[in-house]
Amino acid sequence: MAADTSPPELRCSGLAKTFPGGVEAVRPLDAVFEAGRTTALVGPSGCGKSTILRMIAGLEPPSGGEVTIGGAPPAEIRRRAGLAIAFQDASLLPWRTVRGNIRLALRLAHKPADADAVDRLIRLVGLEGFADTRPAALSGGMRQRAAIARCLVTGPELLLLDEPFGAVDELTRRQLAEDLPRIWQARGTTTLLVTHSVTEAILLSDRVLVFSPRPAALVADIAVDLPQPRSVAMTASADFLDLAQTVSGALARGIAEAPDTLAAQ
């Protein structure tokens, strides 16, 4: 792999956000995300996880601190189309088919149209038979899966996933949880994943960051040292259950130590 395409290290230094109206969403965050690793961000609803992801993507200006990706501001990785983001509301272009939306991502990233790669991803996310369907004729979960395929097709260096499986049924979710890490690990993609599911966080990641209720403050930084590749069957193992208890315990501690949370939500 050429040096300029190797996955970059992501660094948050004192990264903080207070919105102009005075809502404090993110307490200063110092974290380094190693290249090629997957980190899950978990925390109570509304704590500030999406705000962190948006600041990392350069879509929301921090009110304090900074984000650097490979030593440069987020605008740089966006300029070279090395960043892919899937948010909860899969924003597909309504007038394009599934295949058309995925191909467009390649075109916008100035990458060659690889019809085989597009079809492989469509199959991987379980949309075989819907390649020529427009978003309006898909379910919410199918749209999310199309958006995930669109993110992956460009082979991003940095992948930001915000509750990407929110509208996906349990069976497909399990399948995606097994299949997707294989893709991004094989490519050495640095991945950040926001999820409400402790199981998903552990299954998909090398590391879980647990945040307090708003304003999001880092409560725990937990290494997930389970072997790869992982399968859903592992969720019943003693090691997995131990980790799940550690993450749930940290979540509970964050809530207990933020007594003014309910009033502030």
Ligand X SMILES: Nc1ncnc2c1ncn2[C@@H]1O[C@H](COP(=O)(O)OP(=O)(O)OP(=O)(O)O)[C@@H](O)[C@H]1O
Closest residue by Cα to residue 52 from 180, 165, 177, 212 = 212
Q: Does 25 bind ligand X (CB under 6 A)?
A: yes
Nearer to ligand X, 162 or 206 (CB): 162
Q: Count other C-beta atoms under 10 Å from residue 15's C-beta.
A: 22
Q: Does 144 bind ligand X (CB under 6 A)?
A: no
Q: DSSP secondary structure string, 36-90?
A: T-EEEEE-STTSSHHHHHHHHTTSS--SEEEEEETTB-HHHHHHTT-EEEE-SS-
Subset of residues 224 to 263 that bind ligand X, contact rule: CB under 6 A = none
Q: What's the min distance (Å) between Cβ of 211 and ligand X? A: 8
Residues in the chain: 265
235-240: long-range contacts (C-beta < 8 A, 24 or more apart)?
Answer: 235/199, 235/202, 235/203, 240/202
Among 6, 19, 137, 139, contact with ligand X (rule: CB under 6 A): 19
Q: Check: CB of residue 179 under 8 Å from CB of residue 148.
A: no
Number of H helices, E strands in the chain: 9, 9
Site string for ligand X, 180-219 (x = CB under 6 A): ----------------------------------x-----
* Total residues in contact with ligand X, by rule CB under 6 A: 13
Q: What's the min distance (Å) between Cβ of 104 and ligand X? A: 27
Reduced to 3 states, what is the DSSP secondary structure of residue 245?
Answer: helix
Nearer to ligand X, 29 or 117 (CB): 29
Nearer to ligand X, 34 or 257 (CB): 257
Q: What's the min distance (Å) between Cβ of 224 and ligand X? A: 20
Subset of residues 30 to 59 that bind ligand X, contact rule: CB under 6 A = 43, 45-51
Nearer to ligand X, 23 or 72 (CB): 23
Rounded Cα–Cα distance for residues 147 and 122 (Å): 10
Q: What's the min distance (Å) between Cβ of 60 and ligand X? A: 8
Q: Count other C-beta atoms under 10 Å from residue 50's C-beta.
A: 20
Q: Does 82 bind ligand X (CB under 6 A)?
A: no
Q: Count other C-beta atoms under 10 Å from residue 223's C-beta.
A: 10
Nearer to ligand X, 50 or 154 (CB): 50
Q: Does 27 bind ligand X (CB under 6 A)?
A: no
Q: Does 23 bind ligand X (CB under 6 A)?
A: yes
Residues that bind ligand X (CB under 6 A): 19, 21, 23, 25, 43, 45-51, 214
